[in-house]
Amino acid sequence: MAFPPPPAQGSAPYLSHREPLSFTVPQQMGMPGLAHREAMPFTPTQANLIPKQTQFNAGSLAHREPMNFVIHQQAAMPALAHRDAMPFTPTPASLIQMQPQLYIGGLSHRDAMAFPPPAQSAALPHRDAMNFVVPQQMAMPALAHREAMNFEPVRQTRTTSLDHRNPMNMAQPQVTSIPHRDPIEFQTVEPSLPHRDAMNFFSGDMQIESTINSPAAIPSNDVYNNITVAEPASGVSVAEYESSLDLERENYFQQQQSVLNSLSFSSSTFTEGDVDREAEILAQQNIGDSAHLQYAEAPQAVLSVTENPVSKKQKKRHMESRDVRIFISSTFKDMSLEREAIIKRVMPALRAICSKRGVSIREVDLRWGITAEQSESGNTISICLSEVDRCRPWFFCMLGDRYGWSHTENTRDDLLTKTFAHASSQFPWIMNFTDRSITELEIRHAVLNQATITTESQKHCGFFFRSEQFSRGKGPDFEETNPHTARKLQALKESIEQRFPENVLHYSTPADLETIFKQHLIALLDRDFPEADCPTPLEREREVHDAFAQSRARVYVGGENYMFQINCFLASQSQNQHPSPIVIVGNSGSGKSALVCNYVVRYESEHPDIFVLPHYIGCSGLSTDLGRMLHRIISEIIDYFQLPTKELPNDTEGLSALLPSILLEASSRGGMLLVLDALNQLDDKDHAQELHWLPVQFPPGVQLITSSLPCRAAEILNERKWRTLKVEAMEERERRELISSYMSDCSKSLSSTQIDRIIDSPHTSNPLFLKTVLNEIRVHGSYETLNARISQCLSASGIPGLLEQVLSRIEIDFRDKKRFIGDVMATIWLSRRGLTENEVIQILGIAPFLWSEIQLALSELLSTRSGLLNFSHDFVKQSVASKYITTASAQAYRKRIIDHFLLSDSLDRKCEEVPYHYHQAGMISELVTFITTPEIFFHLTSEQHLFDLYKYFRACSTFNPAAKLVAAVGISSEYKTNTARLQQTGKFLQDLAHFSEAETLFKAAVSLVQARRPVDLSAMADVQDALAYLFRVQARYEDACPMYEESLKIRKRLHGEESREVAASMCSLAILFRKMGKYDKAEPLYSGSCVLRKKLLGLNHPETAMSYNGLGCLYQDTGKDKLSEEHFGIALQIREHCHGPNHPDVAMTLSNMASLYLSQARYDEAERLFERALRIYEDVYGESHPDVAHTLAYMAGVFVEKGKYSQAKPLFERAISIKQEAFGRRHPEVAQSLSDYGVLHARMRDYDRALQLYQQCLEIRREVLGQDHPDTAQSMNNVAAILTDKGQYNEAESMFREALQTTERKFGASHPNICQTLLKLANLYQRQGRIANEILPLYSRSLNILRSYYGETHPDIALTLNDMAILKYTQGQPREAEALYLQMLSVYERLFPSGHPEKVKACKNIAAFYAAIGNSTEENKFLTRAASSS
């Protein structure tokens, strides 16, 4: 069964429980077959070996070093405490971690030897093996709960691969998900591997796990007018297409069920007799509480599937708002000291308390800061009472001995009269109380006007009466001198005490009030938001979605038909084995979200027993992140159905892979309705728009409603042939109904002529446009100019133009204060994800009264979610950008935002906003100083901010932030003696290739552990592993070996021979031996770790995948290609299951397999896999990371093999530049790329440049790897081939012989790597004119070896046949030569498409042969074939 694309990866991913990503630098040795070297030119000579024929000298043979595509072996670190787990929370990437990557070396393909004109001997190109070494990637820093990532260079012999990597205890960012992946055929989860019997680690055959497919058809439902089915491809009927789609979906569904079942264990696979449980628990405690220990209990799923539906005590919990706005009422002059205490001391303390409880609190004190000008506007009463409404039910009032601003019995205040008149249209009841003060009006509107005392009013109001003693003798500013108003004040107090006796508190002085006010408010907060009942992040996000739904479910018309169609469709699918989703589409502003929100509200009320989970993408700053969305969906399902769970993955890939299984859980418990609104608003990262994360089919009882604007996601949905429901433009009847409902709600009406004008405008068929016009009509103050205002609105070109009109109108309303409108909107636009009200007020210095006016004016354009102000619609954001944002203004606003948050008490908000604005403003020096402050740095390594931290460090590269960070940590008394923090920082820097700085920190950690008494052996093993891994990354193998060996001994002593920690240490040491070319020592370590991990952890575990990957690398290195592909396939399937299809671990295995395919001349397959791996790495690490360089080299190697030299050259140059920057100029990785680049120049016949590159490579390898290393032998082959072309035969033969002896010692006498030296030596002998009996045995030996490995079809076999044909011809055996040439062409015909350079050269070579023997008919035939193909 084809392994279908998994629901992808996404967020973040914190890669929990993963081995650290190893950035390996392999030392390669030549790949087996001589991949496609230049064919030897057929050179006719004057020798009379053949009567009546022109005779030929064999031309020089091309130097064909196989390109060694080295595959990465991951570093196998135990659950190592050598990097304490960073306490990260999931991100959406919390992603991304860096992983070991493959090393691929190049098969050096040489062009077929050309058959040159007579009497001429052409030098054949030097074909150096392109060693495309890809290091194991640096582990990304702080990835959640992972062992520190190991950034390790892989040294390869031949084709090496990435292999075992330690689990990183670091929170991980959300990894970017790369949707496109080629399905790979794996029929079984674990094929039986007979060749493994020789491993004496277990007995018995491995069992094959198979998957059973049971296709079930999805009934067709094309019965509703507005529900459309996208047409299938031309020539395929709808029925045929749906039948095939049903089968594909069923296969996918069955696979997900199988995967879930394979993970469903209720407990560890250990029995009591297998292991000492106390010892196991103790071992885990020694390692620490990092999340990866969840795996220590063996193949246990995050959830277990049960057949029994749970009881319906699960309930849909719509969150109550946790936004608290407290209206503070008082008279003005006499309460200045009280207000000062509340604003400056009480409220900041309460905000700190509320912040910890997930509560946003803000005081509204409109009497503070009010100016005469603002009072004279006549808005005072309307604004005050509107704010009372917005703050309900929270209302606190302070009363002394002044009544406040009011008419007296003898005089009328004109301004107050104007103020009453202005407010009366909105609050008509006030006209019955025109003799009362504004303070009393506030109290009446808040509580006294209510016929009965509601529970909410009783709970949330507070009255603070000041003692008369305080005011006595202080004059009219503190005491009422008018007996009439004094009686009103007394009556008001008596009424309050009568209605709310428990809510009245008395105080003597402002200092007393400060204490009483704070205690009273804390008591209310404790009751409403107890500390022990702090909402979870899940509940907070739920609140945001509920608030969004309420905002869209107000006035809604025209949706009955759509709701009916949705109901019918869902009903038609309810009994299907795999219900088909429905997709709601329509133009922006057409009302899709309003339809979805209203449908959800109605559906929940009509189906109270069905779980409805809506996710409104774009309703908050977090809702658009794929990883966070997946985490929320899975968490809500777990919460509702009360599922048992362990810690969820923090990475997008892992969450994507888990989603189908969680939906199965919901299916088995009664089903659910999942609603995903506005897929088009998903953040443009993790390739979220490709919908790789969204299952292709859904289990029984699980239904999906989704909506989208035209975008890539909509295209994918269309390709899936899901049902669509298009929200059309509003019809005239619907527009009339909306106008009537809207105007009725605001107690206004329009004439029939005005209504007709509005309806006649084509723009008003869009609900958002129409509602915006109606709102402008509602706030328009003059009926005489209303027609002109309607005309102006209808003249707008569209919604953005109309919204700019709205902003301009609001500016006019605020006259000389209009600048604040632009300030507010621009500041919110520039913020990271919105600002709180207090942040806006403080950043811009807006008086509270003015802010209330502004907020009321902007109420239709702004919305508050999770306490942060943001725009109510994306169109508003567009209009603000167009109207207010310029480069200069953005810089000025950013500076104000930075200045504010630098002084903020909230570390989280500071870390969210300050570095973001430094980066956006180009203030790099300031950014470096900020992010290298230890307190800030460690906060930024949390899952929430980690991705940003990587970005910031890359942006600061010219300022050497690594050195600044090390210096800052080194002088910090808090951190310089903290081993965990030192390792955490070192790991982060290692992941970013700052090796010297990382080494400084790791050595400091080692010294700290060594100095402790008694010595903590577990900690010692961990820090030694961390430092050894760093040494391995830098190819300092002799330094690393004793440290790894000592760590293995310690772990056996601590945990016993059969433990997870020992398996990890075995892998680490196996990688090292493999890099050192000590394969006999590496294989038993790899095999032993594989057996232990399967026994302890189960098959579907990341660490088991590491062992399979390592064995695949080892088998490829030693020429056992079939076993290599088998093991890579198992590793790939496990990793896609664990992490999703777009994780760097998956990319690593993809590259390993691609390198294997490349060595087998399966170029198209190799290219596709390399391209996918490159996309993953660039998304995760950026474009200048060593792992990207390795993959670029792989891609260049593919282009070389395909004859696309011009495309290969810039990729090689970019790869070399990146590696030199990362490793320095004397590193095996750099040597490998120089050698690969030399191959390209040899293929292009630029021999001088090729020799220069080969010699540079040989010099580095001799210095770093030693004389007796396979990679050094490879370089000797390359240089000797060039020397052959230059006629320096003795030096060349000596070097070839030495290289041959080295290779035979390492691999034996029948390994494909020997073939390259044999053929180059044969080339040399032909040039020297030696007899055939010396040359032919070399060719025959090489051909036999190649056929034994590859069968009859491989490019190196074709090249060898070509060379043998030339030899036969020179011996006077033209018939034998002809047969060999035709065999060569047959191989190429099977390998390459028409027009491939190798086929063209082969045809020309054969034509030259026929010309030499006088067969013009065949000569012309092959020349014609060559011309038609080129």
For the stretch 1313-1355, pLDDT in tens is 888 889 889 888 888 888 888 888 999 998 998 888 777 877 8
- The full DSSP string for 625-691 is -HHHHHHHHHHHHHHHHT----PPPBSHHHHHHHHHHHHHHHHHTT-EEEEEE-GGGS-SSTTGGGT
> Is 80 exceeded by the pLDDT of residue 5?
no
Residue 1261, pLDDT score = 85
Contact 975, 959 (CB under 8 A): no
Rounded alpha-carbon distances, angstroms, from residue 1255 to 154, 1015, 1248, 1259: 22, 49, 11, 6
- 992 token code pair: 């970013």
For the packed helices 1102-1117 and 1121-1139, what is the interaxial angle rounded to 10 degrees?
160
Around 914, how many Cα atoms within 13 Å sit in the side-chain half-sphere? 24
Backbone angles phi, psi at 1196, to 5 degrees: -60, -40
Residue 1306, pLDDT score = 67
Cα torsion through 1206, 1210, 1215, 1218, rounded to 10: 170
Q: How far apart are the first and last CA of the chain?
A: 39
Contact 363, 434 (CB under 8 A): no
Residue 317, pLDDT score = 53
Cα torsion through 1316, 1321, 1327, 1331, rounded to 10: -130
809-829 burial, b for 16+ CB within 10 Å, e for fewer?
bbbeebeebeebbbbbbbbbb
Residue 555, pLDDT score = 56
Residue 924, pLDDT score = 94
> Is 80 exceeded by the pLDDT of residue 333?
yes
Residue 1285, pLDDT score = 79
H or E, element range at 559: none
Residue 107: which of 1349, 1373, 1366 has the closest Cα?
1349
Contact 156, 1117 (CB under 8 A): yes
Band the pLDDT of 943: cuts 50, 70, 90.
Answer: low
Mean pLDDT of 92-121: 33
- 437 token code pair: 């003060």
d(CA 449, CA 559) in angstroms, rounded, equals 38
d(CA 541, CA 1315) in angstroms, rounded, equals 64
Mean pLDDT of 1024-1044: 88
> Is 90 exceeded by the pLDDT of residue 1001?
yes
Mean pLDDT of 1309-1316: 81
> Is 70 exceeded by the pLDDT of residue 143?
no
Identify the weakest region by mean pLDDT among 316-320, 363-367, 1050-1054: 316-320
- pLDDT tens-digit series, residues 815-830: 888 899 999 999 999 9
Residue 158: which of 36, 31, 25 has the closest Cα?
31
Residue 398, pLDDT score = 94
Residue 1182, pLDDT score = 62
In one-letter notation, the amino acid at residue 180 is H
1258-1275 burial, b for 16+ CB within 10 Å, e for fewer?
bebbbebbeeebbbbbbb
Rounded alpha-carbon distances, angstroms, from residue 1189 to 5, 1149, 1163, 1174, 1202: 27, 17, 20, 9, 20
Mean pLDDT of all residues belonging to the chain = 75
Q: Which residues pair with 723 in a beta bridge?
A: 582
> Is 90 exceeded by the pLDDT of residue 441?
yes
Pairing, β 360-364 against β 868-871? unpaired
Residue 196, pLDDT score = 31
Q: Is the peptide bond before 1014 cis (omega within 30 degrees of 0)?
A: yes
Band the pLDDT of 880: cuts 50, 70, 90.
Answer: very high
Residue 1371, pLDDT score = 84
Q: Which residues pair with 705 in a beta bridge?
A: 582, 675
Identify the weakest region by mean pLDDT among 97-106, 461-470, 717-726: 97-106
Using CB atoms within 10 A of its CB, is residue 760 exposed (0-12), middle (13-18) or buried (19+)?
exposed
Q: Which residue has the tokens 């409603």?
A: 705
pLDDT > 90 fraction of the chain, expressed in percent and rounded:
26
Backbone angles phi, psi at 577, to 5 degrees: -60, -35
Band the pLDDT of 558: cuts 50, 70, 90.
Answer: low
Band the pLDDT of 243: cuts 50, 70, 90.
Answer: low
- pLDDT tens-digit series, residues 640-695: 998 876 667 766 777 887 888 889 889 888 899 999 998 988 877 767 888 888 98
Identify the weakest region by mean pLDDT among 212-221, 818-827, 898-907: 212-221
The DSSP symbol for 554 reads S
> Is 50 exceeded by the pLDDT of residue 26?
no
Evaluated on CA atoms 268, 270, 273, 276, the torsion sign reads: negative
d(CA 425, CA 781) in angstroms, rounded, equals 11
- The full DSSP string for 1304-1365 is HHHH-TT-HHHHHHHHHHHHHHHHHT--HHHHHHHHHHHHHHHHHHHTT--HHHHHHHHHHH
Residue 947, pLDDT score = 65
- pLDDT tens-digit series, residues 829-868: 999 888 988 899 999 999 887 888 888 889 888 887 667 8
Identify the weakest region by mean pLDDT among 113-117, 184-188, 374-378, 730-734: 184-188
Q: Which residue has the tokens 């309003």?
A: 594
d(CA 827, CA 845) in angstroms, rounded, equals 12
Residue 1237: which of 135, 130, 35, 108 has the closest Cα?
130
Residue 1179: which of 1206, 1153, 1142 has the closest Cα?
1142
Choice between 1 and 344, residue whose per-residue pLDDT is larger: 344
Rounded alpha-carbon distances, angstroms, from residue 345 to 178, 216, 794, 843: 51, 67, 50, 19
> Is 80 exceeded by the pLDDT of residue 1287?
yes
Contact 615, 628 (CB under 8 A): no
Q: Is 115 helix (H, G, I), strand (E, B) or coil?
A: coil
Residue 24: which of 142, 144, 159, 147 has the closest Cα?
159
Choice between 1029 and 58, residue whose per-residue pLDDT is larger: 1029
d(CA 1400, CA 1077) in angstroms, rounded, equals 39
d(CA 128, CA 1064) in angstroms, rounded, equals 36
Q: Is the peptide bond before 393 cis (omega within 30 degrees of 0)?
A: yes
Residue 1179, pLDDT score = 67
Residue 236, pLDDT score = 42
Residue 453, pLDDT score = 59
- The full DSSP string for 779-801 is H---GGGHHHHHHHHHTSSSHHH
Identify the weakest region by mean pLDDT among 44-58, 403-417, 1040-1054, 1256-1270: 44-58
> Is 80 exceeded by the pLDDT of residue 154?
no
Identify the weakest region by mean pLDDT among 77-86, 381-390, 1218-1227: 77-86
Band the pLDDT of 1430: cuts 50, 70, 90.
Answer: low
- pLDDT tens-digit series, residues 706-736: 999 888 888 888 888 899 999 888 888 888 8
Residue 488: which of 441, 536, 531 has the closest Cα?
441
Residue 741, pLDDT score = 83
> Is 50 exceeded by the pLDDT of residue 160?
no
> Is 50 exceeded by the pLDDT of residue 557?
yes
Band the pLDDT of 1108: cuts 50, 70, 90.
Answer: very high
> Is 70 exceeded by the pLDDT of residue 102?
no
Cα torsion through 1079, 1080, 1086, 1092, rounded to 10: 180
| Cα 1284 versus chain centre, distance | 51
Residue 553, pLDDT score = 67
pTM, full prediction: 0.52
> Is 70 exceeded by the pLDDT of residue 74?
no
- pLDDT tens-digit series, residues 288-324: 332 222 222 323 333 333 333 334 334 445 556 778 8
Residue 916, pLDDT score = 93
Residue 308, pLDDT score = 38
